[in-house]
């Protein structure tokens, strides 16, 4: 898989790479953005679509949150918790 990346974030705690790119869809005539989670060998694990026209991203590994900045320089917090991750018991 080869995709143009717009921003990159590394999760050293889990060995993931997060790549922000276009999803291939258009929302209101603008390209939708997505964040791809890749493993340490750059194999696709999961994808997260964004509801904002993001251009830049910072990944906070301990919180599993991507901070994305839209075209008007507003920050948006996007949780990137895996749907398949185990949740702690009571």
Q: Domain total for the chain?
A: 1
Question: Is 37 domain-assigned?
Answer: yes
Q: Is the pLDDT of residue 75 over 90?
A: yes
In a domain, 52, yes or no: yes
> Is 40 domain-assigned?
yes
**Is 90 inside any structural domain?**
no
Mean pLDDT rounded to a whole number for the chain: 85
In a domain, 2, yes or no: no
CA distance 26 to 9: 24
Q: Domain of 50?
A: 7-79
Per-residue pLDDT band at 65 (split at 50, 70, 90): very high
Query: Is residue 15 assigned to a domain?
Result: yes
Q: Looking at the domain assignment, is residue 87 inside a domain?
A: no
Contacts of 72 (CB under 8 A, 6+ apart): none
**pLDDT at residue 48 greater than cutoff 80:** yes
What's the rounded Cα separation, in Å, for the pair 25 and 86? 30
pTM listed for this prediction: 0.80
């Amino acid at each position: 898989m080869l995709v143009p990346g717009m921003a990159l974030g590394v999760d050293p705690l889990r060995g993931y790479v997060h790549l922000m790119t276009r999803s291939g869809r258009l929302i209101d005539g603008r390209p939708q953005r997505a964040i791809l989670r890749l493993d340490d060998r750059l194999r696709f694990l999961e994808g997260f679509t964004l509801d904002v026209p993001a251009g830049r991203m910072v990944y906070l590994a301990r919180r599993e949150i991507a901070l994305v900045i839209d075209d008007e320089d507003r920050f948006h917090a996007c949780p990137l918790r895996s749907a398949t991750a185990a949740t702690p018991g009571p």
